[in-house]
Chain A
Amino acid sequence: MKKILILLFLYVNVFAAGQVGDKAMNFQLPNLYHLDKKMSFNDYKGKVVLLNVWASWCGGCKEEMPLFVKLQNEFKGSSFSILLSNIDTNSQNAVSFLKGVDSHRTLHAVYDGDKILPRAYRCIGMPSSYLIDKNGRIVDVFVGSINENTLFKLKAKIKALLRK
């Protein structure tokens, strides 16, 4: 009976989605703007990161993008970064969309055409955002589009994490 319970526990954990308290996954993916250049999550060590899984075919993802640009500009010069992970089949769709929203390339972006990150985190909705602290632990998970109301709470959390 004990063994069955252990196996059940393992099973539940193996197939669970990315949750608060989990260690963020380390990855190496191409830069969305320069596909020949690789970006690693290790580059963000010691930083507070908002990892956003998005696609240009997802309406909610496009909706929240201007808010992210605004948020990143507010935290300019701090150790907070927004990292976009695009999962489009054609990366050019994402680049042309970002051209209109983030012409100064304020947001860092990687291209995840093989959908490695959403598979690893088992995203239950699009877009999904993961707030990761300086130690690389997931502090908060946002499923769905971030609106002004959520942004207010998110800002408070980022400020608290930056103070730590």
Chain B
Amino acid sequence: MYKLILIPILFFLTACSDRLVRVMPYEKEYLAQDKMKLSPVDARAEQEGHIFLIREASAGGESAFQGGCGCR
């Protein structure tokens, strides 16, 4: 009997925690705003990327096929 009550409670609690943590796609209105972008000004993104590369003193590592080791 104890198990029968415990199992649904556990299921319910896990479902609740899932719902609390996960942001559903239809709840992303504010996340979709331009100001939420890492680089809000598109025109500046390239320049920021360039500065990032100089600071890190390496090339690559930004795309899937370059390792970021500097050797390209």
Q: Which A residues are within 8 Å of any B CB, using their own CB?
A: 3-4, 7-8, 11, 15, 53, 55, 57-58, 87-89, 115, 118-119, 122-126
Contact = CB atoms under 8 A, between A and B. Distances in A.
10 contacts: A4-B3, A8-B7, A11-B8, A57-B29, A57-B33, A118-B24, A119-B26, A123-B24, A123-B26, A125-B25
A53 B7 contact: no
A144 to B, nearest CB: 10
Interface of A is mostly: loop
B8 A3 contact: no
B11 interface: yes
B69 interface: no
Nearest to A143: B25
Which 8 A-B residue pairs are closest in the complex by CB-CB distance? A118-B26, A57-B32, A126-B25, A11-B11, A125-B25, A57-B29, A7-B8, A123-B26
B38 interface: no
B20 interface: no
Interface of B is mostly: helix
Interface of B: 3-4, 7-8, 11, 15, 24-29, 32-33
Contacts of A118: 24-26
Nearest to A53: B26
Contacts of A89: 29
Contact of A126 (B4, B8, B28, B33): B28
Nearest to B18: A15
Nearest to B8: A7
A125 B13 CA distance: 24
Nearest to B15: A15
